[in-house]
Amino acid sequence: MKDKIKVQVIGATGYGGIGIIDLLSSHPNFQIISLLAKDKFGKTINNFYPHLNNISELMVEEVTQNAIGKDANVIIFTTPDTVAMQMIEPIYERLMKNNIKIIDFSGDFRFKNINDYEEYAQKHPKLNKFQHSAKNLLDKSVYGLPELFKDEIKDARIVGNPGCFAVSMILGIAPLNKLNLIDKTQINIDSTTGTSGAGKSLNEIQHFSNMESNFIPYRALSHQHVTEVKKVASSLGNTIENIHFVPHLINTTRGIMSSIHIELIEKTTKNKLLKIFQDYYRTDYFIRIIDNPPSLKNVRGSNYCDISIDVDEKGKHAVIFSAIDNLMKGQSSNAVQCLNIMYGLNEKTGLERAPLYP
Instruction: Tell me which residues are annotated as active site.
Output: 164
87 and 10 Cβ atoms separated by less than 8 Å: yes
User: Minimum Å distance from CB 98 to a copy of itself?
Assistant: 30
Q: Is 275 helix (H, G, I), strand (E, B) or coil?
A: helix
CA-based nearest residue to 342, from 110, 36, 7, 114: 7
Distance, in Å, from the CA atom of 330 to the CA atom of 342, rounded to the nearest integer, reads 18
Strands 256-264 and 215-217 turn out to be: unpaired
Distance, in Å, from the CA atom of 269 to the CA atom of 300, rounded to the nearest integer, reads 30
User: Minimum Å distance from CB 38 to a copy of itself?
Assistant: 18
Distance, in Å, from the CA atom of 173 to the CA atom of 26, rounded to the nearest integer, reads 33
CA-based nearest residue to 107, from 71, 153, 149, 138: 138
145 and 164 Cβ atoms separated by less than 8 Å: no
Residue among 48 and 130 whose Cβ is closer to a copy of itself: 48
Residue 71, Cβ neighbours under 10 Å: how many? 11
